[in-house]
Amino acid sequence: MPKILVTGGKGQLAKCIEKQGNAYELDFSFKSSSELDITKFEELKEAFIGHNYDYCINCAAYTQVDKAESQKEAANLINHLAVENLAKLCEAYKVTLIHISTDFVFSGEHSLPYLEDDKTNPLGVYGKTKLDGESRIQQNIKQFFIIRTSWLYSEFGNNFLKSMLNYGRKKQQLSVVYDQVGTPTYAMDLADLILKIIHSGSKNYGIYHFSNEGVASWYDFAFCIFKLAGINCDLIPIRSSEYLTAAKRPSFSVLDKSKVKNTFQLKIAHWQQSLSRAIKNID
C-alpha cells in the first residue's frame, strides 16, 4: 500500500483528495501548515525521516494573487524556496513529488489553448513564484509530476463558486468580468487525476495540464452558478479595466489537455457538468 504525504492538508484540494481517496487502498498522512511548515527545512526534513513515503502531494501554496503583489517575500518563500527544499528532500528520500501549479505562469496572449512546452511569461508575483517553484523541481528531482490547473473550486474552502453563491443570495445585482477567459476546474476532478497517477504507478514524469473541458469567462462561470443554484441576481458583464485589481491576470489561459488525456487514458468532464455536481455536494 503506497504511503503518501500531503502538504497543505486543510486546503480544498487536500480535502478532495481525502474524500476521493476512500476508493483506493492508500495510506495518507495529511499535514496542515500548522502541523508541517514547508518553509522550515529542518521541520520538513523531520517529516520524511523514518516514514518511507512513496509520494508527496504538495497542495501547500500561497494563492492570494493580489496580496502577493505586496507580499512578495511570503509568496516567494512558499511557492518557490520551500518547493525547492521539498524537491531536494523528495529526491534524497526517493519520494515521487506531485506538485500543483497554475495557468498564471502564462501571459494570456495566446489565442489557442496552452501546451505544456509553450513559452511561459507570468504577469504577476504569484505566477512568477509558481514558475520559479516549477524550475526548482525540474533542477532538483527526477521523479516528479507538475500539474498546472486553472480556476480551482469545490465545496471546501474559499473559492469563486462559494463567493458567488454567497454574494448572489445577498445582492440584487453583481458585476463580473467577461474578458478573462479560461476553464473552471472542480478540485474533485483534479483529485481523481492525482489518485489515478498514484494508482497507476506511472513513471511518465513531467509537466501536465489539467482542467475541466470547455471554455468560459468569469461572467459565464457566475451565470452558470446562479442558473444551477436557482439564484435570482442580476448579473452585469464588465471589462477587467472596470474592475481594477493589484495583480494583472491573463486574459486567456485555456489549457490544452491532450498530453494528460493520452498518457492516462483520461476522459474529462465539461466544466458545467462538474459544476452541477459541486453545487449538489454543497446543498
Q: How does pLDDT run across 176-215, given as a tens digit for each residue?
A: 999 999 999 999 999 999 999 999 999 999 999 999 999 9
Closest CA to 258 of 116, 96, 72, 94: 116
Q: At what angle do helices 187-200 and 12-20 cross, to 10 degrees?
A: 50
Which residues does 85 contact at the CB level (< 8 Å), separation at least 6? 38, 41, 44
Residue 148: CA count within 13 A, CB half-sphere: 29
∠ Cα 91 50 16 (to 5°): 70
Nearest-angstrom CA–CA distance, 168 and 231:
6
Per-residue pLDDT at 283: 67
Predicted confidence (pLDDT) per residue in 109-162, tens digit: 988 999 999 999 999 999 999 999 999 999 999 999 999 999 999 999 899 999
* Superfamily designation of domain 3-159+184-213+256-269: NAD(P)-binding Rossmann-like Domain (3.40.50.720)
Average pLDDT of the chain to the nearest whole number? 95
Rg of the chain on CA atoms, in Å: 18
Portion of the chain with pLDDT greater than 90, in percent: 92
* Active site positions, annotated: 126
Name the band, by pLDDT with cuts 50, 70 and 90, for residue 25: confident
Backbone φ and ψ for 108, nearest 5 degrees, come out as: 90, 15
Let me know: does 164 contact 227? Beta carbons within 8 Å: no
Least confident of 23-27, 140-144, 168-172, 212-216: 23-27
Grid cell of 64 as nine digits = 492570494
- Amino acid identity, residue 89? L
Predicted confidence (pLDDT) per residue in 36-56, tens digit: 999 999 999 999 998 999 999
Per-residue pLDDT at 91: 97
Predicted confidence (pLDDT) per residue in 246-259, tens digit: 889 999 999 999 99
